[in-house]
Amino acid sequence: MTKLIKTKKIYDLEERTAKFAENVIDFTKELPNDFRYQSIISQLIRAATSVGANYCEADDAHSKKDFCHKISLCKKESRETKYWLRIIARTFPKNNDIAKILWKEAQELNLIFASIIRKKS
């Protein structure tokens, strides 16, 4: 999982959100395969992958209003991802270090989307 730790920031948001989703998916592969926690893991994957998918939608928006709506969905999904990462960190304490790195990236994305919304509104 050392590939999660990057020294160079990605400034292309489409690439950054895709890489974030890939890192979350890779992270979940490292978690114990216990049926009791599959719904939590699935929720994390859904939220994390939705960030980038909604960003792609925003990038192709037909209007400023549509763009702002899609970016607000990105913000919402990045915030939800932070929530699920918190729950995962509590559920699987051995994986806290990677969960914290992913949480920080989700937080940075959330702040970026909040800034975009403020500037476009």
Could you report the per-residue pLDDT of 46-99, keeping only the tens digit for each?
999 999 999 999 999 999 999 999 999 999 999 999 999 999 999 999 999 999
Is residue 13 within 8 Å of 52, Cβ to Cβ? no
What is the secondary structure of 83-95 as a DSSP string? HHHHHHHHH-GGG
- The pLDDT confidence band at residue 7, using thresholds 50, 70 and 90, is very low
Is 7 a member of any domain?
A: no
CATH number at residue 46: 1.20.1440.60
- The mean of the pLDDT values for the chain is 93
Asked whether the predicted pLDDT for residue 9 surpasses 70, the reply is: no
Domain count, the chain: 1
- Number of helical H runs and strand E runs in the chain: 4, 0
Is 35 a member of any domain?
A: yes
> What's the rounded mean pLDDT across residues 96-112?
97
